[in-house]
Chain A
Amino acid sequence: MNNEAIKDLLYRMADDALIIGHRNSEWTGIGPMLEEDLAFSSMSQDKIGHAQALYNILYTSFGEKNPDVLAFQREEKDFRSCQLVELPIGEYDFSLMRHFLFDHAEAIRYELLQASSFAPLAALAKKVRGEIRYHVMHADTFVKQLSAGTEEAKARMQSALNYAFPYALGIFEPSDYDAALIADGVFAGETKLQQLWLEKVTAIVTAAGLQMPAVDTTKAVYGGRKGYHSEHLKPLLAEMTEVTSIDPSAEW
Chain B
Amino acid sequence: MSLDPRINRLDLKRVNDGEQTASHLVTWEVFHQEKRGKQPVHAGIVHASTPEQALMFAKEQFARRGKTANLWVVKTADVYTFNSEDEAIFETTPEKTFRDPAFYKVRERIEAFQAKNKL
A-to-B contact residues, CB < 8 Å: 26, 29-30, 33-36, 38-39, 42, 88-89, 91, 134, 137-138, 141-142, 144-145, 149-150, 152
Partner of A141 from B22, B25, B52, B64 at Cβ < 8 Å: B52
Query: Do A35 and B46 touch (CB < 8 A)?
Result: yes
A30 to B9, CA, bound (A): 12
Nearest-Cβ distance from residue B117 to partner chain A, whole angstroms: 46
Query: Do A36 and B2 touch (CB < 8 A)?
Result: no
Assuming the contacts A30-B2, A30-B4, A33-B25, asked whether A42 and B60 have C-beta atoms less than 8 A apart, the reply is yes
Contact partners of A38 in chain B: CB under 8 A: 57, 60-61
Task: Beyond A30-B2, A89-B6, list 4 extra A-B contacts (CB 8 Å).
Answer: A26-B6, A39-B60, A145-B49, A145-B52
Contact partners of A26 in chain B: CB under 8 A: 6
Contact with A along B9-20 (1 / 0, CB 8 A): 110100000011
Interface flag for B59 (CB, 8 Å):
yes
Partner of A39 from B9, B25, B49, B56 at Cβ < 8 Å: B56
B-to-A contact residues, CB < 8 Å: 2-4, 6-7, 9-10, 12, 19-20, 22, 25, 46-50, 52-53, 56-57, 59-61, 64
Number of A-B residue pairs at CB separation under 8 A: 48
Query: Do A145 and B57 touch (CB < 8 A)?
Result: no
Nearest-Cβ distance from residue A173 to partner chain B, whole angstroms: 28
Closest-by-CB residue of A relative to B9 is A91
Overall SS of chain B's interface: loop
Closest-by-CB residue of A relative to B8 is A91
Nearest-Cβ distance from residue B10 to partner chain A, whole angstroms: 8
Contact partners of A152 in chain B: CB under 8 A: 12
Contact partners of B20 in chain A: CB under 8 A: 150
Query: Do B48 and A35 touch (CB < 8 A)?
Result: yes
Nearest-Cβ distance from residue A146 to partner chain B, whole angstroms: 10
Overall SS of chain A's interface: helix
Query: Do B57 and A35 touch (CB < 8 A)?
Result: yes
Query: Do A141 and B56 touch (CB < 8 A)?
Result: yes
Report which residue of A26, A39, A144, A150 has the largest number of chain B beta carbons within 10 angstroms of its beta carbon: A39
Closest-by-CB residue of A relative to B2 is A30
A138 to B60, CA, bound (A): 11
Query: Do B12 and A138 touch (CB < 8 A)?
Result: no
Report which residue of B10, B22, B47, B57 has the largest number of chain A beta carbons within 10 angstroms of its beta carbon: B57
Nearest-Cβ distance from residue B66 to partner chain A, whole angstroms: 15
A76 to B52, CA, bound (A): 40
Nearest-Cβ distance from residue B67 to partner chain A, whole angstroms: 13
Contact partners of A144 in chain B: CB under 8 A: 52
A86 to B77, CA, bound (A): 42
Assuming the contacts A30-B7, A33-B25, asked whether A150 and B49 have C-beta atoms less than 8 A apart, the reply is no
Contact partners of A39 in chain B: CB under 8 A: 56-57, 59-60
A16 to B96, CA, bound (A): 64
A48 to B36, CA, bound (A): 31
Contact partners of A141 in chain B: CB under 8 A: 50, 52-53, 56
13 A–B contacts from the bound complex (CB under 8 Å): A29-B4, A30-B2, A30-B3, A30-B4, A33-B25, A35-B48, A36-B57, A39-B56, A39-B57, A91-B7, A137-B56, A145-B53, A149-B19
